[in-house]
A and B are shown apart, each in its own frame.
Chain A
Amino acid sequence: MFLSPLWRRRADIAAVAAATFGAWLLWSLYSSAASVSWFYDRVERVKTLNAANALPPPDYDLNSLPWKTSQPRAFDLGPSLLTLVTNAEPYAYQAFATVETRRARAADIQFDGEIESGGATIGLLQDGKWIAVNSSQRRGRFADANTVELGRSRSITVVVANNNAAGESRLTLRALRLYLRR
């Protein structure tokens, strides 16, 4: 009974649906490409953050992050230097720091360190999922930056993990800066 008027006007309904679908499609394509472009643009900007470029003060740095550990062999936090010797468990989290997002829409992370052996992953977790990851399994300098749009959760976690399938890794971090963008 309710369907018969709809059936009579099916051509009109189809036209409305197609027009709406087209408008949504065009907008969503532009919007998603713009969002990805924003991300990479941001990454480039964050990567240029270094001491020589009048570094802005971060929301958190190596010493102000509330670090907790998960049984690494060594975790030594000095002024502007973190020395970490991981345990032998491959890919396990070793040190992490959870902070409030303070209604930020995006987070930028920038770090500078040295891998002495094995490999390391430095990134951000939100709601238990990786939202930004930088990894290396090469000895030598490990310096990079990343950026990410944040979800609704009120906290994010900075994580340093072992990235060595063969066991223990050793690294030092000279700097780690977290910027929360509103």
Chain B
Amino acid sequence: MTVTRLCRLLILVEFGVALAIIVYAGLHDVRDVLAGTPPAIPADVAARCGAAAGGHACEALAMRLNAGRYRVWTTAPADTLTVDVKPTVPSRARTVMVRVAKPESVTLTIGSRAPLEIAEDGRVAVRLAGGESLTLSFAAAGTTRATPIEVDEIGVYESDRGLLSDVRPLFRAIPPARYHVTIVQRAVASLCLFTVVAALFVPSAPLKRAAPFVLPVVCFSLCVLDLAVLFSPYFAHDLRSMYASGPLQERPGSNLNGGLYQAMRLLGGHGLTTRDGIVPWERMPGYGLFCAAAAILFGHDTLVDLAISTVLLQTIFYCVALGVFAWAAAGLFTPAAVWAVGLTIAWLPKQLGYTQADAVIAPIALLILAALCVRLQRVRSGRPVPLGVDAAVHAAFALWFAMRPDVLPAWLIVSLVLHWRTWRRLLLPIALFLAIGGGWGAYKARYTGEFTLTTTSVGASLFCGVFEVPSRFRFAQSCTDETYFDWIHQNTPFAPQSAAASGFATREVLRFWLTYPGHVAIMLYDKMMRVLNGDVWPGYVTGLQTFVFGVVPRYAVVLSLLTVVAVCVAIGYERRRTLLLSWPVFLNAPIFWLTYSSLGRFYSAAGVALFVGSLPPLFESGFYRAVAARPWRTASVVACAAVFAATAWPLHDWLLGNDALHYWTPPVHPAPSRLAVLK
């Protein structure tokens, strides 16, 4: 056996070991993410409170997190909160665990024990003697200003094992924050990077066969690792606790609970509504149905359970979509490229912990790209494209439309590009659009009395989009739904959620664009720069991503990838494939430069597509031959990219500071505009 063969064998072993470590690390955290604690002893709780002196009467409420674990809180400032915990088997209750969120300092008295001061927002586990009273009294410490008392977690357990730190076979002494945030994340990120290199040396045929199955498992692990850090039970709030103390305390229909309420009410026979008689004006029906599917598959005893079921289904959906993409892309790219693209997509920051439609847009985009890969392969081989392949492409687009309507312009353009020679197939997207839009419109009409094929939030989105860039306009950088509602009420007799209000807002925004073209130019440029600066990969960044982004800034990564796309287009290397697979970058992301971008949370599809469009050529020798054959074109593109990279931010700063351009009003006088109000 030669040294080279030996090395390749060694790489194969190292590749397998790296994958095993990555998968193990993620699977180890599954319980922390989904349950938040070891199994508690099933118990009921009864809570009462004593109002703060001079305050309003208070009420004590409890919300079940999982069997035996609760969140308990007072509705008004209180001096005391007393919780009677009644475990089903009192003799097994050996440890009580609490986490106090408010006030900063409280004393906890268990039965007749001496009071225990709890000063930090972290879990506290107290050992119990057998048969001890489980009446827990929380009292605000004397110096603390009167606030509601909020106990984010309370439960009884057989032991404190797994409550304050995860139970692991190795490296037990390392505190959970250090272990999960630093050590595991960096190790897994570096192993991921290694597998991308190693994939170049792993035999192609087995890698091609295995990737559609292995990548989803690795992806699941990486998703869980991210969630385990963002929602750690040991140094943050686990998902159940976070939902109980945050989104589920907000009014039904808000960003993170709208889909959950819709699903719960749908399964309860109350229709796809968030409250009695209320259908969401700003959302399509798809995400509520997705949550309902999660409820059926994984359970929905409470809204907290439903939130966790939804997060789980979102995660599985992301992984399965990646597997489908890996299978479809295998016919178009080299196995190493498929691995690199798939692993990069699995590694990207995601929004899977949040129950809103944006969390599933990236996997839907992957399904569209997968279908396009199959189609491209057919076209490349000179065979006719079966109707089923086009149906798959448009079904994936339709799935996106069922979640969010922003896909419509891109769907139209891609459909025209795909079917300009076979125009009858345009009936596919038209039929799907009418079926979904018409169905939702007809359903909403029962409640609202008006028929619209999509949402009635276009006006609101355009309205808030105008004010996302720094300016001296009244609503600058402070636009919310409430701002829009107030503005509509001040200027029209319409209900803000109505199509009429949306139409009015749209007309006013168009007038504003014409009035202040300089502001529009600055707005577009500012939002484009934010995308280039990394907003194209939305979601909270963890150690997995900072391992790379801490060394190579996201701005440099985005520009480099876009440069590869530009080079492919300029030199004619796989031009159609590159443009078709990166369509969300050019046809979807720019929509949010004109409309509300909400700190970039809508861009996930563009982030995924940027990698799909730009990474594969780097793994193909044909790309380098094409570059060598057209050196001047390549050099021109790279030079332009370099000049842009160097000057884009100084230009941005100059534009933002240039009031003469910003508030220049040559075509239309600002007086009639109801938006052009300066601070």
Residues of A within 8 A of B (CB): 11-12, 14-16, 18-19, 21-23, 25-26, 29, 32-34, 36-41, 43-44
Contacts and interface: CB of A to CB of B under 8 A. Distances in A.
Contact of A15 (B187, B194, B201): B201
A16 to B, nearest CB: 5
A29 B171 contact: no
Contact of A18 (B3, B183, B200): B200
A18 B18 CA distance: 13
Chain B CB within 10 Å, residue with most, of A26, A41, A44: A26
B449 to A, nearest CB: 63
Interface string B177-206: 010000100010011001001101100000
Interface string B299-313: 000000000000000
A15 B174 contact: no
Nearest to B17: A26
A140 to B, nearest CB: 12
B248 interface: no
Contacts of A21: 194, 197
Nearest to A40: B173
A40 B197 CA distance: 34
Contacts of A29: 187, 190-191
Interface stretch (B8-16, B353-361, B518-526, B538-546): B8-16
B628 to A, nearest CB: 16
Contact of B173 (A11, A32, A37): A37
A14 B336 CA distance: 15
A69 B191 CA distance: 50
B172 interface: yes
A21 B10 CA distance: 11
Contact of B187 (A18, A23, A33, A34): A33
Name the prevailing secondary structure of the B interface residues. helix
Nearest to B188: A29
B187 A16 contact: no
Contact of A25 (B170, B175, B190): B190
Contacts of A40: 173-175, 178
B391 to A, nearest CB: 43
Contact of A37 (B11, B15, B174, B194): B174
23 contacts: A11-B4, A12-B3, A14-B200, A15-B8, A16-B7, A18-B198, A18-B201, A19-B8, A19-B14, A21-B194, A21-B197, A22-B15, A22-B18, A22-B198, A25-B14, A25-B191, A26-B18, A33-B183, A36-B174, A36-B178, A37-B171, A40-B174, A40-B178
Contact of A19 (B10, B17, B187, B191): B10
B547 to A, nearest CB: 12
A23 B15 CA distance: 10
Contacts of B190: 25, 29
A34 B187 CA distance: 13
Contacts of B15: 22
A26 B195 CA distance: 12
A18 B174 contact: no
Contacts of B183: 32-33, 36
Closest 7 CB pairs between A and B? A22-B14, A41-B173, A40-B173, A19-B7, A37-B171, A15-B7, A19-B10
A21 B172 CA distance: 28
Contacts, number: 71
Nearest to A12: B4
A58 B504 CA distance: 81
Nearest to A15: B7
Nearest to A16: B7
Given A25-B190, A25-B191, A36-B178, A18 B173 contact: no
A14 B8 CA distance: 10
Chain A CB within 10 Å, residue with most, of B3, B10, B190: B10
Nearest to B187: A29
A61 to B, nearest CB: 26
A64 B173 CA distance: 32
A22 to B, nearest CB: 4
A141 B14 CA distance: 51
Contacts of B197: 18, 21
Contacts of A43: 173
Contacts of A33: 170-171, 174, 183, 187
A37 B182 CA distance: 13
A170 B243 CA distance: 46
Nearest to A34: B171
A51 to B, nearest CB: 24
B14 A16 contact: no
A88 to B, nearest CB: 28
Interface in B385-432: none
A124 to B, nearest CB: 20
A18 B191 CA distance: 12
Given A15-B201, A29-B187, A36-B183, A23 B4 contact: no
Chain A CB within 10 Å, residue with most, of B7, B11, B198: B7
Nearest to B9: A19
B11 A19 contact: yes
Contacts of B17: 26
Given A23-B14, A29-B190, A33-B183, A18 B175 contact: no
B520 to A, nearest CB: 49
Given A16-B3, A29-B190, A33-B183, A23 B10 contact: yes
Contacts of A12: 3-4, 7
B166 to A, nearest CB: 14
A41 B3 CA distance: 41
A40 B7 CA distance: 37
A32 B15 CA distance: 20
Contact of B14 (A26, A34, A36, A39): A26
Contacts of A16: 3-4, 7
Chain B CB within 10 Å, residue with most, of A11, A19, A38, A40: A19
